[in-house]
């Protein structure tokens, strides 16, 4: 059958960075080995389930740029790939465990269980969890309860003594004392819904999963799953628990560390190729001395042996660096198309405006080197699409100068502008340099109030290229407006 791996999210929220990383590593392993990558929806938590989260899952991976070979939306030979459509299977296999004396019916009602929890908490008992009350019920008593239609669940028989041993591809041999495993967990609930553990094991077996690659936070469930595989007489898939992803504070990555939803990264203006490349490097290496890879290249280079055991730290500055690198690889047309939705959403321009399209295309060389996130484009480009609000007086005034001298410099700028041919940037710059010498001013002092007048800020894309895009007439209007404003304040 070959290598078969899966990504099995619960659609109870939008896709997040941790889930994307798990999916990516499974995908890369499948591609690097000629295997199959499967999507399975584990939707048994109906209280938090939403169709919107399922759609978010599909939309996220279409945007990210890699997809599964089999799954809930594309089909495949071992479907259905949605757990809520497989309930008859789970019931069948849970009942089989009862017949094999590997599981049992439990008739304890919620009142008794609540009382048990209360007593354990009150007495600070070392024995926490279910007390195995129904584990040794006689057959006659069980048959009587069943005949009465008494509510019941099916619980797994956890060995009372000994140790459960399993191998992890990354972590090595792991031994877990059975007394430390949750005592006799529920497999099938009273309403017929399976628990995560039953559905997970049955599905992985029936779908022929050969490797389970998941986050290390799932490691405590591994001994329980091993016991279940042994109970069924099935071969357990090879396990590989991936290193954790931590925030800069050393804690598990969460909302307090900033955006963790893939949607939020997308809205912030990250490119999918940058996000994939950075996430792939969290706890994994590909090629010494190189950081930028196409997805196709990573598919060929990925090896489990290159995964690290130690947790990885999510570094937003490094991600921003990756994003900037990929932005600079875009053509002017590609980048203009990518920033357009952000400009429209910010109200900088309208959607259908050919003139604005042409202006944006011409502006891309001005902002490409400075742009870290696509969402930064509106702030950088607003002055090109409309006259900026007049800046505060102190913004115009160069260091060690006063308002009067600043107005004089702006008037010099206004006299120079009509004589400049901005199609020749270097020639226009030379005129300003020469004039600065003639009037005994620093070039920076001559240009800084001009920049603020033209762009509304001391920090902006290249000034002369900006004036070329705006045209001399518009630049003169802005300079005269600045002079008037300064003279009135």
Annotated catalytic residue 255: yes
What pLDDT is attached to residue 449? 97
d(CA 161, CA 163): 7
What pLDDT is attached to residue 1? 67
Q: What is the pLDDT of residues 350-368, one digit of tens each?
A: 999 999 999 999 999 999 9
Q: CATH number of the domain at 331-377, out of 1.10.3470, 3.30.70, 1.10.8, 1.10.1060?
A: 1.10.8
Question: What are the residue ranges in the chain where pLDDT is below 70?
Answer: 1, 126, 255, 258-259, 489
Q: Is-same-fold flag (4-83+246-313; 393-488)? A: no
> Do residues 179 and 242 lie in contact, with contact meaning Cβ atoms separated by under 8 Å?
no
Cβ burial, residue 382 (10 Å; 0-12/13-18/19+): buried
- Which sequence spans correspond to the domains of the chain? 4-83+246-313, 86-242, 331-377, 393-488
User: 3 Cβ partners below 8 Å, 6+ apart?
Assistant: 29, 30, 33, 34, 35, 36, 210, 211
- Single out the residue of 60, 2, 36 nearest to residue 272, CA to CA: 60
User: 83 Cβ partners below 8 Å, 6+ apart?
Assistant: 40, 41, 42, 43, 44, 194, 199, 203
What pLDDT is attached to residue 266? 96
> Do residues 179 and 227 lie in contact, with contact meaning Cβ atoms separated by under 8 Å?
no
Q: What is the pLDDT of residues 11-58, one digit of tens each?
A: 999 999 999 999 999 999 999 999 999 999 999 888 899 999 999 999
d(CA 41, CA 55): 12
Question: Domain spanning 4-83+246-313 has what CATH number?
Answer: 3.40.50.620
Q: Phi-psi bin for 278: left (phi > 0), alpha (psi -120 to 50), beta?
A: alpha
Q: Which residues pair with 186 in a beta bridge?
A: 155
Looking at 169-228, which runs of residues are DSSP E strands? 172-177, 186-188, 211-215
What pLDDT is attached to residue 120? 87
Cβ burial, residue 461 (10 Å; 0-12/13-18/19+): buried
CA distances from 48 to 20, 194, 259, 464 (A): 20, 16, 21, 55
User: 57 Cβ partners below 8 Å, 6+ apart?
Assistant: 9, 11, 15, 41
Architecture, CATH, for domain 86-242: 3-Layer(aba) Sandwich (3.40)
> Do residues 315 and 283 lie in contact, with contact meaning Cβ atoms separated by under 8 Å?
no
User: 188 Cβ partners below 8 Å, 6+ apart?
Assistant: 90, 91, 94, 153, 154, 194, 195, 198
What pLDDT is attached to residue 44? 86
Question: In the 8-state DSSP scheme, what is residue 439?
Answer: T
d(CA 107, CA 109): 6
Which of these is catalytic: 255, 306, 309, 433?
255
What pLDDT is attached to residue 121? 84
What pLDDT is attached to residue 274? 97
3-state secondary structure of 8: coil
Quote the distance between the C-alpha of residue 8 and its chain's center: 16
Q: CATH number of the domain at 393-488, out of 3.30.565.10, 1.10.10.350, 3.40.50.300, 3.40.50.1970?
A: 1.10.10.350
């Amino acid at each position: 059958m070959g290598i078969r791996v899966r990504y099995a999210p619960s659609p109870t929220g939008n896709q997040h960075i941790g889930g994307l990383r798990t999916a990516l590593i499974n995908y890369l392993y499948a591609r690097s080995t000629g295997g199959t990558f499967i999507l399975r929806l584990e939707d048994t938590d109906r209280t938090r389930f939403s169709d919107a989260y399922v759609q978010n899952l599909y939309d996220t991976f279409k945007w990210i740029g890699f997809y599964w070979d089999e799954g809930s939306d594309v089909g495949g030979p071992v479907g259905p790939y949605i757990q809520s459509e497989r309930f008859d299977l789970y019931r069948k296999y849970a009942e089989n465990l009862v017949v094999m004396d590997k599981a049992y019916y439990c008739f304890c009602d919620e009142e008794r269980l609540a009382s048990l929890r209360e007593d354990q908490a009150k007495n600070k008992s070392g024995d926490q969890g279910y007390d195995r009350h129904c584990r040794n019920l006689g057959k006659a008593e069980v048959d009587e309860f069943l005949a009465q239609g008494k509510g019941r669940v099916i619980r797994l028989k956890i060995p009372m003594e000994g140790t459960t041993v399993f191998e992890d591809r990354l972590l090595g041999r792991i031994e877990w004392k059975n007394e430390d495993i949750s005592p006799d967990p529920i497999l099938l609930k009273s309403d017929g819904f399976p628990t995560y553990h039953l559905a997970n094991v049955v599905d992985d077996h029936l779908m022929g999963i050969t490797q389970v690659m998941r986050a290390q936070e799932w490691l405590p469930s591994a001994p329980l799953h091993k016991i279940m595989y042994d109970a069924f007489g099935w071969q357990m898939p090879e396990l590989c628990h991936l290193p954790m992803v931590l925030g800069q504070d050393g804690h598990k990555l969460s909302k307090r560390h900033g955006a963790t939803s893939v949607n939020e990264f997308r809205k912030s203006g990250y490119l999918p190729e940058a996000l994939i490349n950075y996430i792939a490097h969290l706890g994994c290496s590909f090629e010494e001395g190189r950081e930028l890879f196409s997805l196709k290249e990573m598919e060929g280079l990925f090896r489990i042996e290159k995964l690290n055991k130690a947790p990885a730290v999510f570094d937003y500055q490094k991600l921003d660096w990756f994003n900037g690198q990929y932005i600079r690889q875009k053509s002017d047309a590609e980048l203009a198309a990518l920033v357009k939705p952000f400009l429209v959403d910010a109200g900088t321009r309208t959607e259908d405006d050919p003139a604005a399209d042409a202006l944006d295309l011409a502006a891309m060389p001005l902002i490409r080197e400075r742009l870290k996130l696509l969402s930064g484009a509106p702030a950088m480009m607003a002055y090109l699409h409309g006259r900026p609000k007049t800046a505060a007086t102190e913004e115009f005034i160069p260091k060690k100068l006063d308002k009067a001298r600043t107005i004089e410099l702006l008037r010099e700028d206004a006299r120079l502008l009509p004589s400049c041919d901005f199609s020749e940037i270097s020639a226009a710059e030379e005129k300003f340099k020469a004039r600065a010498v003639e009037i005994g001013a620093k070039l920076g002092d001559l240009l800084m109030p001009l920049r603020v007048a033209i762009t509304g800020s001391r920090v902006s894309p290249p000034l002369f290229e900006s004036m070329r895009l705006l045209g001399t007439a518009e630049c003169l209007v802005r300079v005269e407006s600045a002079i008037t404003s300064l003279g009135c304040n």
